[in-house]
Every structure is written in structure tokens, then in C-alpha cells.
Amino acid sequence: MPAGAADSELVERGKYLVTIASCTDCHTPGHFLGKPDMTRLGGSDVGFEIPDVGVFYGSNLTPDEETGLGRWSERDIVTAIRTGKRPDGRTLAPIMPWAALAELTDSDAGAIAAYLKSLPPVSNKVPGPFGPGEAPTSFVMKIVAPTEK
């Protein structure tokens, strides 16, 4: 099989995995407002508020150098997906399901990274993160525990 065909198959596998893992739910503008822009994974315009933790917005997963994953290697992406650790040492927001994604095979994790690196770059800096007590600058979805009766 020619190398280009193998690369194409890897990217298609990554696209499939990103789709079934619902990465677009948190990383696509408009998704939580009922009007998703499925042409890009440029980051969410709605944040998640987790009580006593803060507000987090799904980041820009395109390879934009300034606002996305453009400066991350494919290995950096795989590490973040599987361990919750960013290249700068920060831990991903608790809403990111990295513990479940840690079970991905090497080839599947690599396919996701290859797919994300293949996307057209989108310049979109998402807000935050915001710590407890900090005022978010965009729409927020709250996670609220039910009250006992």
C-alpha cells in the first residue's frame, strides 16, 4: 500500500474515532446552543462550571499555532488523551474523559492525533479556564447536584 494511502486510512480512522467518542460535543462551536458548526473542532463557546473547581471551555483541537494544537506533536496529543497531561504540565479539565480514553490502543490514539493534525487550522482562542470565584467571559453550563428532599 502506498504511504499516502496508509496516511489517509489513519486519518479516516481518527475521524471515525473522534466522531464516535463525541469529541465534537465539547470542542465544536455552537454544539451546546443547538447550532453546531460541524465544519470545525475550533473550541466551544459554552463553558462547563464544576462547583468549587471552576469553568472550563472545550479547547480548539485544530492545528492552529496560536490558539490550537499547532505546537503540539502527535505524541503530545496522545499523552494528553491518555493521561490528562498537557505538554505544559497542566492537567486537563475534569470534564475531559481521559481516564476512559486511556484504554485506547496505540494505533487508535495515534489515529486521533493524526486526524487532529490534518484538520484545517482555525484561529479561535476559547475563554478560560476560570478558577472558583472568577467571572467567566462567555456562556456557561452549570453542573448542579440534586438537592435532597
Calculate the average pLDDT of the chain.
90
Q: Judge residue 21's burial from the number of C-beta atoms within 10 Å of its C-beta, 0-12 exposed, 13-18 middle, 19 or more buried.
A: middle
- Report the distance separating Cα 141 and Cα 149, nearest Å: 24
Distance CA 27, CA 6 (A): 27
Which of the four pLDDT bands, split at 50, 70 and 90, describes residue 123? very high
**pLDDT reading at 61 higher than 90:** yes
Q: Tell me if the bond preceding 129 is cis, omega within 30° of 0.
A: yes
Q: Which pTM does this prediction carry?
A: 0.87
pLDDT score recorded for residue 23 = 92
For position 2, what pLDDT does the model report? 47
Cell numbers found for residue 90? 497542566
